[in-house]
Structure 1
Amino acid sequence: MSGVQIAIILFANVCAFLLRFEGRIPPPYQQRMWQGMWIVAAVYWAGLVGFRVHRGLWRYVGLHDLVKIFWASVVSTIGLYAVVHPALGWFNYPRSVIILTGLLSLGLLSGIRLAVRWLREFLIPQGRQMLEPGARRVLVVGAGEAGELLVLDLQAHPSYNYRPVAFVDDAPRKQKAILHGVPVLGTIGDIRKAVEESAAQEIIVAIPSATPELKQRILAASEACHLPITTLPNVKQLLDGSVSMRRVRPMSLEDLLQREPIQTDLQELHPLLEGKSVLVTGAGGSIGSELCRQIARYRPAKLVLFERHENSLYSLDLELRETFPRVKTLAVVGDVTSPTQVSEVFRACAPNLVFHAAAHKHVPMMERNQSEAVRNNVLGTRTAGEGALAAGVEHFVLISTDKAVNPTSVMGATKRVAEFLAQDLNGRGKTRFTVVRFGNVLGSSGSVVPLFTEQIRRGGPVTVTHPEIKRFFMTIPEAVQLVLQASVLGRGGDVFVLDMGEQIRVADLARNMIVLSGHVPDQDIKITYTGLRPGEKLYEELFDEAERVEPTAHAKIKRALGRPAFASGELDRHLRDLDALLQTCDADVVVRKLRELVPHYKRNTSDAAK
């Protein structure tokens, strides 16, 4: 490219003489022009090298390169004047030619670079796209920097087989504008009209800073479009990479729930976990498995996976060994309701920290299996807690649920008793017992999200129990991050409650999932209401009315303070009675005992709920 640039400069010099003499250069000046050619070439080459213009790739030229070409031309013009007039004394070398040579060189060197970039990024891709009618037509939501870069990437890489055909953006100054040949056809509220006008086949959201509320607006405006919706990652995820079609992914429910990134105190979590022996019960479950993944990042000396379902345990153990080869994992098939087995594992593994995530959690199923819910959730917690005390475990963390507050289900009541038990065991030995309470997590096994996904895949209907039923939702990684952070805050006997944000109508969740799948709710896929099931509430609560809420050092974690539910030794007596009642196999008697333990337990058994 260096020879081409010198040729351009010499051509500019000849044009400058022609312009100066209106196309007829007198012989004396022709001679001076040819004599000065090597000087022009040398001076301008020095200018290009000095400003590193000679090495730039033309097809990637930007404003920074144009500025460097400008200064190289200015300095070269001054240098040429200094050489031919004061130094060589060529006073008949026209000063106007020197100035014109600089101006023409600037214009030609800049123009040819811009032409190459335009040819590469617009003309050739546009031509290819015209020749490839099968390219997928996309509507880009957001005509800001990210949207512009995405369009440039699509136009520069026809191999993606995507063709940007329109923008929508809420900024008034961008309305009816054209960016890189792509028109802005309206605002976010005009998405449906823009899709029809542009014949778009896909919607890409190119607003990395979009809030969940804005994404909800985009989803609502796209509801009748029958198109898949994809998105660029958020700002935090884009920090390590550029905007590109390769970064585009399907929009998910997590995008709609997205809150401020959790600030995890790594300096506190490392001493908690690094070099320690950690045991997780229920390790194969949704929360238990994510706990194991996040704990492994902090390099514990040993990570014990305690789980009674061998298939999920095998998969998790294999995953952890591949992802964290330096972390020693021990997979134990076991049941927390077996005192002998729990005692043996605790003695052999000597854990410093126990996360008790083992529990039955499916509300309607536990309404039909009350005794098993009590055995696993209550007596299993007692077995694990007493095993931790006997083994001298430093810290025991119980994973609880918002369904434990004013429960209407057997599952919720058993988890409330488990909370009472953890607080009662605290202070009996050196083990600190902590309870962490939170609501639903997206995508956990048996939750509504996998159910709705399968129903949508089959073409519907999507079944919701009640039009007004609401739930707290949080992503599994987010919940586990806060569980670990709460573990640091625990002093013993604490009940921590995670900030779950606002409750979400399950019907809205269903509609969003249908739209995200490219269908129209109540047209392509129906939503049907089946009535509340046994044990279900219309809405959940995070705090009991008798509890006092206290902030902690972490903005997303609150402490629930309340009076002890039982006098010393009283809960032990109740649990012995409960254990004895389980042997009778009389579920009604067991439930009555639960109601005695949890006075706020009001069982929902209405016919409409069955």
Structure 2
Amino acid sequence: MIRKIDLIPSYLKLIMGVGFDLLALSIAFFLAYFIRMGLNNTAFTLSELFVYLTITLSTLLLFTYFDVYRSVVRYFNAKAFLKVFIILICTTTIFYFAGYIFDAFIPRSVPIVFFVLAILQITSIRALFGIIFEKKLFNEREGVVIYGASTTGRELVNALTLGKKYQPLAFIDEKTRYQNRNVLGLHVYSHNKIGNLLKRFGKFKVLIAVSNVDPHRLKEIVAAIEPHALELLTVPTMSDIVSGKRSIDQLREVSVKELLGRKSVNPVPELLSANVTNKVVMVSGAGGSIGKELCRQILLNAPKKLVLLDISEAFLYEIHQELTECLAETNNPLEIIPLIGNVQNDTLMKSIFVQQHVQTIYHAAAYKHVPMVEGNVISGVSNNIFGTYAIAKAAVASKVETFVLISTDKAVRPTNVMGATKRMAELVLQGLANKQKETRFAMVRFGNVLGSSGSVVPLFKKQIERGGPITITHPDIIRYFMTIPEAAQLVIQAGAMGKGGDVFVLDMGEPVKIVDLAHKMTHLMGFTIKNDDNPMGDIAIKYSGLRPGEKLYEELLIDDHAQVTSHERILTANEKFIPWDDVITILEHLTQAITNEDNQQIRQILLNAPLGYNPSTAKQKEQTLSQFTGTPSIIEPKIPQPELIGAL
């Protein structure tokens, strides 16, 4: 934004500054005499006028020499005041000596009064200009309130004052020693006085300036601010500030992870490195949300070689470029092999495994969006079932050591084709694990990952930014969330625990009602919900109804039997599997139906197979849950840790 004052040429600003100082010095000189002698008793001779010229010119020259006029007036501070103060002391000293030189009449108190009048005028006008700029009379800056009056908050105020974007209005702090006091000229309010701030300042942003805050504590801060529908930003982490990656005023939005208050658990180094360090690792579906993060985490654990496989050239190029740049920054000589290929091509898979000497595979290549797979049954079955079968067979033939399947909670009592295909993929791997012992198979189930493609979080953000409405399928739908990095780390660790055919489930934390998430995201972006209670709100919510095959809630276990592992957020399911001959029979029937392009027959085969597939249960569960208000009690799991039910 260009301000009107910025259009004034620099030389005119200099003339204005010198002119004002000359006027201030003149007023100080003559007024000092009038105060001392009285108006009627004051008479100036040529000697006094010579003294006047001497002190005014010497002051202006000293101001010029010591760069007073080069300083930006709106940043006038204590250091600039001290410079002017010292110069005027020198000028006062010159005042006395000039009196002797020109034999002028100078009472002893006149230079002192001159000094007081000059310092008051010259510094106060500069401070006044700074205040005028601060109050946005010359430039438009957005009002912000700083949450936290401690060191980080004070540093943020100083940084914002020097900037052009934000205008600090006040502090909010929970510490009573700060409340109702002024810090850096800003009043400190209690966190329950946000309503008073809104009445005084109107709408503003809240900047959280609390360093090294615990996730649970941050969730409490967010909860206190969220109902007021104020946009919320936070300072970068202290590690980023100290390392120089970011400055304190490079604010960022509060992430959904911070909004939900989910606390990550530190990974077990031995489990992270077991199948990765000094091994040739391949990630199928490397260009997808989970695949990319798996690649990033694998890179941190020193593999011998990393093979990237994806059917999408664009996605493969993107992750390859990212990893290559990362290696260049750290001078890491690791070899990364990007390969375009379809996992359904078992000949190609076998060739890749043999040529690259692959030891560990993370199989993340799958079609995962429920409505898309529901409308593309043949593609879903071909990729999710036969793709998994092809790459797993090739792994066994090539004597790959470890094969980890990225599965989903939708594989548990599936109500949609996608979930049925993933459960069938699990049965294929369980059958292969029982049939041979050279390749160790493991499956990892988890639900929603924050920020993945198709996740509600980026979708809601886009809908809010364009003014709504936010679309939600059902007011009672709930999901469990996990961050992508945490999911990838847990997948790698779970894969290291597998003995053969194991199904692992990840602790997904506390349940989240999707409509509540929409409300919180809307409020923290500075908007209000438009509904019957608030018809003048900003963003409306539209309920579209459950999509085909969609559940109101998800599960991670087929049977109510789960065992703890050496990691607190990983359980092993120990579920039943079917004989390999039965697996082959189902695959043969599916192959014939795909050849005939018979979608109905494919669905019937999936219904007849021991997958627990029942598309009618989605509607039944909706009807059951409609009896409940708030979070439905039917979602309570029957496993050792109640938080371990998730959703994708």
TM-score between both structures, scaled by the size of structure 2: 0.69
2:285 corresponding residue in structure 1? 282
1:127 CA drift (Å): 7.3
2:581 corresponding residue in structure 1? 569
Question: What is the CA–CA distance in structure 1 between the aligned matches of 2:234 and 2:227, rounded to whole Å?
Answer: 18
2:306 corresponding residue in structure 1? 303
CA contact (8 A) 1:204 1:230 kept: yes
* Aligned-partner SS, 1:347: helix
2:152 corresponding residue in structure 1? 146
1:542 CA drift (Å): 1.7
Question: What is the CA–CA distance in structure 2 between the aligned matches of 1:351 and 1:135, rounded to whole Å?
Answer: 57
CA contact (8 A) 2:395 2:439 kept: yes
* Aligned-partner SS, 2:302: coil
Pair 125,384 (structure 1): closer, same or farther in 2 beyond 3 Å: farther
1:448 aligns with 2:456: yes
1:123 CA drift (Å): 10
2:602 corresponding residue in structure 1? 590
Amino acid at match of 1:136: E
Question: What is the CA–CA distance in structure 1 between the aligned matches of 2:262 and 2:327, rounded to whole Å?
Answer: 28
CA contact (8 A) 1:547 1:561 kept: no
Pick from 498, 502, 527 the counterpart of residue 519 of structure 1: 527
Question: What is the CA–CA distance in structure 2 between the aligned matches of 1:285 and 1:222, rounded to whole Å?
Answer: 35
1:267 CA drift (Å): 4.4
Q: Deviations over 1:172-205 (max 9, x none)?
A: 4543232222112332x43243133234632112
Question: What is the CA–CA distance in structure 2 between the aligned matches of 1:536 and 1:258, rounded to whole Å?
Answer: 27
1:537 aligns with 2:540: no
Shift >6 Å, 4+ stretches: 122-125, 235-239
1:231 CA drift (Å): 0.9
Pair 138,331 (structure 1): closer, same or farther in 2 beyond 3 Å: same
Pick from 166, 169, 182 the counterpart of residue 165 of structure 1: 169
CA contact (8 A) 2:181 2:188 kept: yes
Question: What is the CA–CA distance in structure 1 between the aligned matches of 2:248 and 2:608, rounded to whole Å?
Answer: 60
The more displaced of 518-527 and 316-325 is: 316-325
CA contact (8 A) 1:223 1:520 kept: no
What is the root-mean-square deviation of aligned Cα atoms in Å? 2.9
Amino acid at match of 1:129: E
Pick from 570, 583, 603 the counterpart of residue 615 of structure 2: 603
CA contact (8 A) 2:146 2:208 kept: yes
Question: What is the CA–CA distance in structure 1 between the aligned matches of 2:488 and 2:546, rounded to whole Å?
Answer: 29
1:559 corresponding residue in structure 2? 572
2:260 corresponding residue in structure 1? 257
1:49 corresponding residue in structure 2? none
Q: Deviations over 1:357-378 (max 9, x none)?
A: 0111010111111222111111
1:176 aligns with 2:180: yes
CA contact (8 A) 2:361 2:402 kept: yes
Question: What is the CA–CA distance in structure 2 between the aligned matches of 1:237 and 1:607, rounded to whole Å?
Answer: 50
Pair 167,235 (structure 1): closer, same or farther in 2 beyond 3 Å: same
Q: Deviations over 1:353-407 (max 9, x none)?
A: 0000011101011111122211111111111111110010000000011111121
Amino acid at match of 1:319: E
Q: Deviations over 1:19-78 (max 9, x none)?
A: xxxxxxxxxxxxxxxxxxxxxxxxxxxxxxxxxxxxxxx97xxxxxxxxxxxxxxxxxxx
Question: What is the CA–CA distance in structure 2 between the aligned matches of 1:400 and 1:195, rounded to whole Å?
Answer: 48
Pair 309,492 (structure 1): closer, same or farther in 2 beyond 3 Å: same
Unaligned runs of 5+ in 1: 1-57, 60-118
2:431 corresponding residue in structure 1? 424
* Aligned-partner SS, 1:298: coil
Where in structure 2 are the equivalents of 1:66-145 lying within 5 Å? 129-130=134-135, 134-145=140-151
CA contact (8 A) 2:160 2:249 kept: no
1:430 CA drift (Å): 0.9
2:421 corresponding residue in structure 1? 414
1:322 corresponding residue in structure 2? 325
Pair 192,235 (structure 1): closer, same or farther in 2 beyond 3 Å: farther
* Aligned-partner SS, 1:569: helix
CA contact (8 A) 2:241 2:248 kept: no
Amino acid at match of 1:536: E
1:486 aligns with 2:500: no
* Aligned-partner SS, 1:315: helix
1:461 CA drift (Å): 0.8
1:507 CA drift (Å): 1.2
Amino acid at match of 1:456: I
Where in structure 2 are the equivalents of 1:143-222 lying within 5 Å? 143-155=149-161, 158-159=162-163, 161-187=165-191, 189-199=192-202, 201-208=204-211, 210=213, 215-216=218-219, 218-219=221-222, 221-222=224-225
Q: Deviations over 1:73-121 (max 9, x none)?
A: xxxxxxxxxxxxxxxxxxxxxxxxxxxxxxxxxxxxxxxxxxxxxx9xx
Question: What is the CA–CA distance in structure 1 between the aligned matches of 2:130 and 2:253, rounded to whole Å?
Answer: 25
Pick from 504, 515, 521 the counterpart of residue 507 of structure 1: 515
Question: What is the CA–CA distance in structure 1 between the aligned matches of 2:149 and 2:503, rounded to whole Å?
Answer: 47
1:498 CA drift (Å): 1.2
2:43 corresponding residue in structure 1? none
Question: What is the CA–CA distance in structure 1 between the aligned matches of 2:589 and 2:220, rounded to whole Å?
Answer: 55
CA contact (8 A) 2:431 2:579 kept: no
1:351 aligns with 2:358: yes
Q: Once the two structures are aligned, what percentage of the paired residues are identical?
A: 41
1:464 CA drift (Å): 0.2
1:390 corresponding residue in structure 2? 397
Question: What is the CA–CA distance in structure 1 between the aligned matches of 2:604 and 2:172, rounded to whole Å?
Answer: 60
Question: What is the CA–CA distance in structure 1 between the aligned matches of 2:464 and 2:246, rounded to whole Å?
Answer: 31
Question: What is the CA–CA distance in structure 2 between the aligned matches of 1:175 and 1:328, rounded to whole Å?
Answer: 57
Pick from 462, 477, 481 the counterpart of residue 473 of structure 1: 481
CA contact (8 A) 1:578 1:590 kept: yes
1:334 CA drift (Å): 0.9
CA contact (8 A) 1:367 1:411 kept: yes
1:253 CA drift (Å): 1.3
1:437 aligns with 2:445: yes
CA contact (8 A) 1:416 1:598 kept: no
Pick from 364, 368, 385 the counterpart of residue 361 of structure 1: 368
CA contact (8 A) 1:192 1:222 kept: no
Amino acid at match of 1:312: F
Question: What is the CA–CA distance in structure 2 between the aligned matches of 1:274 and 1:125, rounded to whole Å?
Answer: 58
Question: What is the CA–CA distance in structure 2 between the aligned matches of 1:124 and 1:491, rounded to whole Å?
Answer: 73
Question: What is the CA–CA distance in structure 2 between the aligned matches of 1:244 and 1:132, rounded to whole Å?
Answer: 26
Where in structure 2 are the equivalents of 1:5-20 lying within 5 Å? none
Aligned length: 486
CA contact (8 A) 2:236 2:247 kept: no
CA contact (8 A) 2:272 2:489 kept: no
CA contact (8 A) 1:165 1:200 kept: no
1:36 corresponding residue in structure 2? none
Pair 593,141 (structure 1): closer, same or farther in 2 beyond 3 Å: same
Pair 137,321 (structure 1): closer, same or farther in 2 beyond 3 Å: same
Amino acid at match of 1:183: H
1:486 CA drift (Å): 1.4
